[in-house]
Structure 1
Amino acid sequence: MEEVEVVVAHNERATLRVGDVFLKIDADQARLDVEVEAMALAPIPTPEILWRKPPVLALAALPGTALGRLGEPSTASSAAWAAAGAAVRMLHDAPLPPWPGRRLDDLASRLDAECDWLVTNDVLPVDLVTRNRRVAEAALRPWTPVFMHGDLQITHVFVDDDKITGVIDWSEAGQGDALYDLAILTLGHEEHLGDVVAGYGTDVDLDVIRAWWSMRSLLAIRWLMEHGFDPAAPGCEVDVLKARM
């Protein structure tokens, strides 16, 4: 008898695996709508949608394994990381999705609020927050929007034989900054940034990617703590911030 595996679960949504089927449960139907539409528009492999009955979306499992996990060394080859970069470039070259993405002023105000919270609640040392806030500000510049995945963690990219078999979790997709996707893909795995950029195939501003590493980590820590995750685990968000020192 097949067991139910809890892939991820918190009070906003949950993903379960039963055999070769993933069940995504999300009370926010707009988020599931984005996921379904983004997968239909994306020019790269995505999971097959088996059925949808709100609040549940059933997806077929992808072949292969995830590119890696945050906080753990990746066993994927340089060629696999380069293939991921090439897939991201294909996505970014595609026509824009019809819905909007992040706004610069929203990001700036969120950064202010989260940095204040981290310091006021003694979550992180003041100098660590101040340094990374300064680094993060380089991401707050005008960009040409692309079709952005929006949550391109390495656990969302599946590879087999150094080829991309699919990308999952499209609920944050929209119009956005190309370098944000590249930053999230390499967060905590700076040693593979060169492979990803080589596969991406065009010049990128590495300082902006590093800025997004700081930005994403500063913005995520409170949410992670409130939802039962540990951003201070080895190789995770707090270590990413310390690396900028």
Structure 2
Amino acid sequence: MDEVKIVVAHSERATLRVGDVFLKVDTDQVRIDAEVEAMAAVPVPTPEILWRKPPVLAIAAVPGATLGRLGEPSTASPAAWASAGAAIRTLHDAPLPVRVGRAGRGLDELRAELDGECELLVAKGLLPADLVTRNRQVAEAALRPWTPAFTHGDLQIAHVFVDGDSDEVTGIIDWSEAGRGDALYDLATFTLGHEEHLDEVLVGYGADVDLDVIHAWWSLRSLLGVRWLLEHGFDAFAPGCEVDVLKSRM
């Protein structure tokens, strides 16, 4: 019998692996609907959907291996990072979906959320005030008008798989936050904690981008993530993770 492995689990959702099948358990059907719709629409490799019985979505494992994980050095080649950049560009050039994704929140809403989170981080003693203030200043560059693109919305490097021999992308997983959004949000999420690979990604992406905006999204995403991560059992203070990303902007 195949072993049941808990991939990730918190109060909002859980993902289990049984052999080559992943079972995603999520009571928020809007997220599951968004994931299914996105995987059917995007012009990049995605997992095969095996079956769906709310609140469970069963998908097949994709071949290859991830480029790495946040907080760990990546052993992937420059060609693999460039290949990922090319796949991200293909996604961003796809016809726009109807849904607004996580990367497409309104600027007023995002600014209010960010300011509230910064106040809480300091009030609760989670981060020093000067660290929060500096990164809030950096984050402001992300709060500008942007041209909508088809975005993944949670494009962590652990969600992108590549073939070890060809360095080609074999699959991109976890599409529940997909929809219209800011393309630079995806690029920043993908390179968060792996700044040294940004140039390689942009070689494959093949377009000029505003680096100040990517730096701003690194700060913004980290500021919004620290408290949630700590409250859900993740260590944002681990080497190379969100708090180190914030410190790198000082």
Which of 180, 183, 190 pairs up with 2:188?
Answer: 183
Q: Distance in 1 between matches of 2:235 and 2:99?
A: 32
Q: Distance in 2 between matches of 1:90 and 1:67?
A: 18
Correspondences of 1:218-229 after superposition (within 5 Å): 218-229=223-234
Correspondences of 1:25-40 after superposition (within 5 Å): 25-40=25-40
- Say how many residue pairs are matched: 245
CA contact 1:47–1:60 (8 Å) conserved in 2: yes
1:45 CA drift (Å):
0.2
Which of 162, 165, 170 pairs up with 2:175?
Answer: 170
Is there any run of 5+ residues in structure 2 with no aligned partner, and where?
none
* 2:235 matches 1:230: yes
* Secondary structure class of the residue paired with 1:23: strand
Task: Provide the residue aligned with 2:54 in structure 1.
Answer: 54
Which of 110, 132, 144 pairs up with 1:129?
Answer: 132
Q: Which amino acid is 2:82 matched to?
A: A
* 2:217 matches 1:212: yes
RMSD: 0.6
Q: Distance in 2 between matches of 1:67 and 1:109?
A: 34
Task: Provide the residue aligned with 1:151 in structure 2.
Answer: 154
CA deviations on 1:163-195 (whole Å, 9 max, x unpaired) are: 100000000001100100000000000000000
Correspondences of 1:189-204 after superposition (within 5 Å): 189-204=194-209
CA deviations on 1:114-134 (whole Å, 9 max, x unpaired) are: 000001111111110000000
Q: Distance in 2 between matches of 1:9 and 1:177?
A: 28
1:222 CA drift (Å):
1.1
Q: Which amino acid is 1:149 matched to?
A: H
CA deviations on 1:190-230 (whole Å, 9 max, x unpaired) are: 00000001100010001100000000000011110111111
CA contact 1:102–1:175 (8 Å) conserved in 2: no
1:40 CA drift (Å):
0.4
Q: Detail structure 1 runs of 4+ shifted over 3 Å in the superposition.
A: none
Q: Distance in 2 between matches of 1:57 and 1:79?
A: 33
Is there any run of 5+ residues in structure 1 with no aligned partner, and where?
none
* Secondary structure class of the residue paired with 1:22: strand
Correspondences of 1:9-158 after superposition (within 5 Å): 9-100=9-100, 101-158=104-161
* Secondary structure class of the residue paired with 1:25: strand
Q: Distance in 1 between matches of 2:66 and 2:191?
A: 13
CA deviations on 1:47-79 (whole Å, 9 max, x unpaired) are: 000000000000000001111000000011000
Query: Under a length normalisation based on structure 2, what TM-score does the superposition of the two structures give?
Result: 0.97
Identity of aligned residues (%): 76
Q: Distance in 2 between matches of 1:158 and 1:113?
A: 35
